[in-house]
Amino acid sequence: MEMTPRQRVLTAIAHQEPDRTPIQIYTTPEVEREIRAYFGDRDYMREFEVDFRFVSPAHIKPNKEPVPGQAERFYDEWGTGYSEVPNSAGGYYPEATDQPLGRLETMDEVENYAWPSPGDWDFSGIPAQIDQAGDHAVCYGHAGMPDIINGVGRGRGMERVLTDIITEDELGIAIIDHRVDYYYEWCRRGLEAGGGRIDILYLGEDLGCQNGPMMSPATFDSFFRPRIERFYRLGREYGCKVMMHSCGSTRRLQSRLIDMGLDVLDSVQPEPDEMDPEQLKAEFGDRLTYCGMISTQRTLPHGTVDDCRAEARHRLDVIGRGGGYIFCPAHCIQPDTPLQNVLAIYEEATGKRFM
């Protein structure tokens, strides 16, 4: 029997066999424009049968405006300024080039900083967005929360943030906890506005790099776990499944994430050390659902159409067997990816033909 998208997603997360593997997609702006142009008036999310829809509040407090003539193109709510920097994939990334949190040197400066507030957002539109999502799986949140390393690093410098954590620097940790506390309340207000109709709380914290975790298990336990776990508990309080984005090699931390209550590990990359999809499925696949595993470092940008079809088919037939898998590229599809490769993997996932 055909399931609704919501039923399909929740069945897979429960490690049961859905009518087909749930489908998700993440793209860079350049790739999204290319896909939209290809499909024209047709909604590519519907063509690709994406089972997820995100809801969000409206930001009602203007951010700082760039000074005319300066390099920064825009500022975020934390006061960090960004410039558009070309990358090797043929696109542009907003890179933090004005880092005000790195200029805070005293606790008085930290406490007097113009921190954002959850009150800068209007949550009243969330119920209508949920209505519009229909029978899709409704997600709330984004990969940038609490996002301690990257999020604070953009405003303070990543090396300095990691040093703050290792040395237990009082000032640096106070800055980090401003971010954590802000996003905790942002989540709580959004989930409250959702009235129990949000299916998935979506979080993010990059815990791995290409060769292993970014921190020791002891540092994860003492510093990261208590700050992240409170978000997991919050999601549970509102009846949500909890999904967290984490790049890189996280295998040595996955048992901890499971113990903390994580349901879905998102943007799982197959290339880093110890991240072989079949080994992950065998070790943790009865307790943790994986989203991703379609290579955005190798297969999608550099493989043939047949290579992409073969990898997609393997993930669907092997990793997706018995549930516990969400079909998705391992990260945002980059601009150096041929469009036909993108179409090929979604042809395999949907059984349709786009080319």
Domains of the chain: 5-350 (3.20.20.210)
- If DSSP codes are grouped into helix, strand and coil, which group holds residue 185? helix
pLDDT of residue 225: 98
C-alpha to C-alpha distance for 102 and 156, rounded to whole angstroms: 4
Q: What is the reported pLDDT for 1?
A: 82
In Å, how far are 18, 209, 267 from 206, measured between CA atoms? 29, 8, 10
- Distance, in Å, from the CA atom of 55 to the CA atom of 76, rounded to the nearest integer, reads 20
| Predicted local distance difference test score (pLDDT) of residue 89 | 86
Q: Which two tokens stand for residue 349?
A: 């996932």
| pLDDT in the model for residue 69 | 87
Phi, psi of 258 (to 5 degrees): -65, -45
Q: Which two tokens stand for residue 46?
A: 């519907």
In this prediction the pTM is 0.97
C-alpha distances in Å from residue 109, one per residue of 76, 166, 171, 179: 19, 22, 10, 16
pLDDT digits (tens, 9 = 90+) for 2-57: 999 999 999 999 999 999 999 999 999 999 999 999 999 999 999 999 999 999 99
So what's the pLDDT on residue 200? 98
Using the structure block, give the residue that is written with the tokens 């929740």: 10
Q: Which of 82, 94, 108 is nearest to 28 (CA)?
A: 94
Report which secondary-structure segment, H or E, holds 138: strand 137-146
What is the DSSP code (8-state) at residue 246?
Answer: -
What is the pLDDT at residue 305? 98
Prior bond of 118 cis (ω within 30°): no
Looking at residue 199, its pLDDT comes to 98
SS3 content of the chain, % helix, strand, coil (to 5): 45, 20, 35
* 37-64: burial string, b at 16+ Cβ within 10 Å, e else: ebeeeeebbebbbbbbbebebeeeeebb
**Cα torsion 117, 118, 123, 126: sign:** positive
Q: At what angle do helices 339-350 and 305-314 cross, to 10 degrees?
A: 30
CA dist 265 and 205 (Å) reads 11
- pLDDT in 10s for each residue of the chain, 355 residues: 899 999 999 999 999 999 999 999 999 999 999 999 999 999 999 999 999 999 999 999 999 999 898 899 999 999 999 999 998 888 899 999 999 999 999 999 999 999 999 999 999 999 999 999 999 999 999 999 999 999 999 999 999 999 999 999 999 999 999 999 999 999 999 999 999 999 999 999 999 999 999 999 999 999 999 999 999 999 999 999 999 999 999 999 999 999 999 999 999 999 999 999 999 999 999 999 999 999 999 999 999 999 999 999 999 999 999 999 999 999 999 999 999 999 999 999 999 999 9
